[in-house]
Structure 1
Amino acid sequence: MATTPKHSVSVAGIVVRDDGRVLVIKRDDNGHWEAPGGVLELDESFEDGVRREVLEETGLAVAVERLTGVYKNLTHGIVALVYRCRPAGGEPHVTEEAREIRWITTGDVQRMMTPAFGIRVLDAFEELPQSRVHDGINLM
């Protein structure tokens, strides 16, 4: 009898300032530039998870605006729901999970981020939510 595959559910926040710059972190665990986010806890809504993860990783409170995409890492079985957010309080700063923090332009995305994570930033500027799959690095 086959077992049902298990998936992990993650959330991430694409935090966009009024000037169009996006908040990204250099993750302490892998050194990659990504939007702040992480595993959704069992007892929280998607939006609460986004607010918690962004605050934990950057010190910045955010207002969640809308879902911008759903992404599946086929290699690791991770499904990520990504939301566009705006700053709502505090100042971003380095944390245990983020060794560096920057506000970048959409033009910086391809230079700084892997395709699988950069597309999440770019999709936040699209009108409709996107649905994509990747292998952890590249889109498929």
Structure 2
Amino acid sequence: MPLHSVSVAGVVVRDDGRVLAIRRADNGTWEPPGGVLELDERPEDGAIREVLEETGIRVEVERLTGVYKNMNLGVVALVFRCRPVEGEERTSAESTAVEWLTPEEVEKWMAEVYAVRVLDALGPEATPHVRAHDGRHLLEAA
């Protein structure tokens, strides 16, 4: 029977439209903050925890914006649009930089599979996006 891992991420959007992003310590890529969902944790609570741990920013979840599956690794990511509530940006053991990016910077700095998560969250759609990728690029729908 196949096993999957579930991760969560928060696309944190300020009133000026900028989005919170981290540069990961392990590989140097820019991504929205997130990580593995713990077994005893609700998805929304996991997103709140991961954003706080990686950035120092406490958030409130607004809505689920997408479900993304890495077909090569079996990782399913749940992405939530969030708004910042309090805190100051800081790095952690998992991040070497924390920045508020414009949508244009997101497209320029992030790999396609992470940029699409942020851009999906910025859209007005009420229905979450469901997408598959190979770890680098989106895969066409069947």
TM over 0.5: yes
Alignment partner for residue 67 of structure 1, among 64, 69, 84?
A: 64
- Alignment coverage as a number of residue pairs: 137
CA distance in 1 between partners of 2:136 and 2:107 (Å): 12
1:91 Cα deviation after fit:
0.7
Which position in structure 2 is the counterpart of 1:132?
Answer: 131
RMSD over aligned Cα atoms: 0.6
1:115 pairs with 2:137: no
Which position in structure 1 is the counterpart of 2:35?
Answer: 38
Give 1:14-53 correspondences, 5 Å limit.
14-53=11-50
CA distance in 2 between partners of 1:25 and 1:82 (Å): 15
The code of the aligned residue for 1:132 comes to R
The code of the aligned residue for 2:32 comes to A
In the alignment, structure 1 segments of 5+ residues that lack a partner are: none
In the alignment, structure 2 segments of 5+ residues that lack a partner are: none
Tell me which moved more, 126-135 or 30-39.
126-135
SS of equivalent to 1:29: coil
Please list every run of at least 4 consecutive aligned residues from structure 1 whose deviation after the TM superposition is greater than 2 angstroms: none
Q: TM-score, normalised by structure 2?
A: 0.95
CA distance in 1 between partners of 2:46 and 2:111 (Å): 23
Identity across aligned pairs (percent)?
A: 61
